[in-house]
Amino acid sequence: MTEENLVKVGMADLKILVATGSLRTTGLGSCVGLTLYDPVTKIAGMAHVMLPSASIAKEGNLNKAKYADTAIPELIEQMVQAGAVQKRFEAKMAGGAQMFAFSGNSDMMRIGPRNVEMCTELLEKLRIPIKSEDTGGNYGRTIELSSDSGMLSIRSVNKGTKEI
């Protein structure tokens, strides 16, 4: 299954898949891996989001895939253009861990939970149901979304592999 058509999604990157295969992103820590799936056309999309909002961006050329509030609309647009129907979208997400625990929890240290909160809020606004999620904790994850079944498999170092 993973042999054919495996599309890698890098850090602060997003990709869509219109053929049979899977989308994969590795080593999610505080970043969130967000996936959208249209079960009828089997068009799938994945974003590896690093930060909650582009409003804090200090960069010149904005990389939409990096911020939750710009990555989600961009992913939707690309999938709709490829023939998917937004009303049918199902979202799944994983990641948003807090890799290190500190006593003085500054906003920067809480970046994982904040990424998850932002994704949840945006998806609610867009009325895209979150079918399942595996977020939080203090460990890294590698995820793979099958465009055939919409199944998201999640691997972590200590907890093995699970499917949601």
Active site residue ranges: 31
Helix (H) or strand (E) holding 150: none
- Determine, following the binding rule CB under 8 A, whether residue 66 of this chain makes contact with another protein: yes
Distance CA 22, CA 145 (A): 5
Q: By the 8 A CB rule, do 29 and 112 touch?
A: yes
Judged by CB under 8 A, which stretch of 15-23, 95-103, 124-132, 146-154 contacts another protein? 95-103
Q: Which of 1, 18, 26, 41 binds another protein (CB under 8 A)?
A: 26
Backbone angles phi, psi at 162, to 5 degrees: -140, 160
Q: Round to whole Å and give the CA distance between 156 and 42.
A: 26
Pick from 141, 145, 147, 153 the residue near another protein by CB under 8 A. Answer: 141
* Contact between residue 116 and residue 28 where contact means Cβ atoms under 8 Å apart: no
Residues 117, 120: Cα–Cα separation, whole Å: 5
Q: For another protein, which stretch binds (CB under 8 A), given 77-85, 116-124, 136-144, 145-153?
A: 136-144
Nearest distance in Å: CB 53, another protein: 10
Q: Which is nearer to another protein, 43 or 140 (CB)?
A: 140
Q: Does 153 bind another protein (CB under 8 A)?
A: no
Q: Report whether 38 contacts 164 (CB < 8 A).
A: no
Footprint of another protein (CB under 8 A): 10-13, 26-31, 50-51, 56-60, 63, 66, 97, 99-104, 108, 111, 138-142, 157-158
